[in-house]
Structure 1
């Protein structure tokens, strides 16, 4: 297997077809087809199935794709590291950021970073577990600023804690059960969460089993904060937000907090990266800019920033 052949497989998977991959790699469709055929001959297996609407990867293709992404990504990072050593840092930094960090500290962090590394292109993803973790695994994400997987042992990923906070149960203002004080009174409602409390980790005690409360009859998953908020505002669904997110979004989005007797799970925000893979100079620079911005936030005159910092425990 050769690197350009693995790059071809990645491009085909991302583009969904030969022509799209050719455009992405600035090559001819014939060259892409030849590279794919050579890769299939090398592994002695079919990697894609051609259809009238494009191509789909076989089970073998999907298995190889995971390794192909890692290898292509590592080669790109190697080039970026050499460029940095030559004094000409270039390339891309892909980061997932949890929503409340994006709403508070991200803009100033990006400003600082771009002043120090103006030739690095930034790419941001929603900082939710189902989006970030697969990208960390396949190397298409450099690091994730967000919530670790509940019950994670730290073998697969490296965690650098930033904040700890408690969580709150939220719904639209004027919700018919806004004064309920127990989880047990709310399990017949539909819940909208950005993670699955029953499947994220078999070892993790979720918010329902911890309080001997039945799991709600229906838990919907939203892999987008904006979708979750839109549903909360217009339905009687309920959700769990970390307190910093409540501070920055509750009034703005017309949400309320339930006065529960139960203490909901703590929410940790960490810088999460793949174990055994040192962060690039650009990654370290971005994290340094973020930490500087957070520390300066304690002297901020912004009421929103001060309220957010009062709702967390700083771990750096």
Structure 2
């Protein structure tokens, strides 16, 4: 890929390590890996390379040439509802821009926002102090629901206490060590569930919920979108669960590209368009959120 021999690459690495007076790679019988110092330098290098690419895109835009790549992560319910129409609008305006999509889980989106490999995250606001690491434009406010398969033994339970014995399946946010489900029970004066498992995929979550007695936590728009189709249901617990702010998350301290600005505008136009909520399913989704734009 670099059009250079292995010996030349080794020499370049050794020269870099000598200049920095740090070991950047560890050579083992099983291969070469980055050291902790190497990983730190790589994060800065990716930011530099990404910023150079954005500078080229800005110059192309000034010439009237809209090219380049735009990387987007989208939370599941937005991906299933507003994202397709937003992409269609964007493609009509900037057909030469290549799009790259990721699942909008915090454990996936936040590291990529930091290293510059992701331009936009359409998802929930990061918790606590982590939120200050990013710029955030709110789009929706929604609440959460406990979900399980239809016919679950506790499908009609009215109290979180009834669900302490169940296996819980929740998205892992590595930066807060997945504490959200524990805090939810603590806030209502309950002990932690006996068993909490973590995931990084909605597809895995739905499959496990359908075929086991596991329970999970979904935002209400995802319940409205998925539950009838996937034979899932919301358990009607009386406790008020957390609210969740969903919006456009970007890395601070750098100008947003013309493509990123265009996509955000296309998304907001889609959300505001009455035609986007013309179906009964979309009306149910919209009834489960407060629109903040």
Normalised-by-shorter TM-score class: over 0.9
Question: Does the 8 Å contact 1:180/1:259 carry over to 2?
Answer: yes
Alignment partners' CA distance in 2, 1:34 and 1:87: 42
> What residue ranges of structure 1 are gaps of 5+ in the alignment?
1-22
Normalized against structure 2, the TM-score is what? 0.93
Count of residues in Structure 1 that have an aligned counterpart in Structure 2: 293
**1:127 and 2:104 equivalent?**
yes
What's the counterpart of residue 192 of structure 1?
169
What's the counterpart of residue 209 of structure 2?
232
After superposition, the C-alpha distances for 1:282-310 in whole angstroms (9 at most, x for unaligned) are 10000000011111146642222121111
- Following superposition, the deviation at residue 237 of structure 1 comes to 0.8
**1:209 and 2:209 equivalent?**
no
Larger RCO: 1 or 2 (CA < 8 Å, sep 6+): 2
What's the counterpart of residue 20 of structure 1?
none
Alignment partners' CA distance in 2, 1:204 and 1:254: 23
| Aligned mate of 2:244, from 248, 267, 273 | 267
After superposition, the C-alpha distances for 1:250-300 in whole angstroms (9 at most, x for unaligned) are 011110110110011012111011122221111000000001111114664
Normalized against structure 1, the TM-score is what? 0.87
What's the counterpart of residue 243 of structure 1?
220
Query: How large is the Cα RMSD of the aligned pairs?
Result: 2.2
| Structure 1 residues 158-177: aligned runs within 5 Å | 158-177=135-154
> What residue ranges of structure 2 are gaps of 5+ in the alignment?
none
Distance 1:247 1:197, change over 3 A: farther
Alignment partners' CA distance in 2, 1:64 and 1:204: 34
- Following superposition, the deviation at residue 87 of structure 1 comes to 1.0
**1:314 and 2:291 equivalent?**
yes
Alignment partners' CA distance in 1, 2:5 and 2:93: 38
Report which stretch shifted further, 36-45 or 249-258: 36-45
Distance 1:287 1:27, change over 3 A: farther
Distance 1:206 1:149, change over 3 A: farther
Question: Does the 8 Å contact 2:125/2:131 carry over to 1?
Answer: no
- Following superposition, the deviation at residue 201 of structure 1 comes to 8.7
| Aligned mate of 2:117, from 133, 137, 140 | 140
What's the counterpart of residue 8 of structure 1?
none
Question: Does the 8 Å contact 2:270/2:276 carry over to 1?
Answer: no
- Following superposition, the deviation at residue 174 of structure 1 comes to 0.9
Distance 1:198 1:157, change over 3 A: closer
Alignment partners' CA distance in 2, 1:179 and 1:157: 40
| Structure 1 residues 26-65: aligned runs within 5 Å | 27-65=4-42
- Following superposition, the deviation at residue 122 of structure 1 comes to 0.6
What's the counterpart of residue 261 of structure 2?
284
Question: Does the 8 Å contact 2:182/2:192 carry over to 1?
Answer: no
After superposition, the C-alpha distances for 1:209-231 in whole angstroms (9 at most, x for unaligned) are 22112121221111111111111
**1:69 and 2:46 equivalent?**
yes
Question: Does the 8 Å contact 1:155/1:275 carry over to 2?
Answer: no
- Following superposition, the deviation at residue 203 of structure 1 comes to 11
- Following superposition, the deviation at residue 195 of structure 1 comes to 3.4
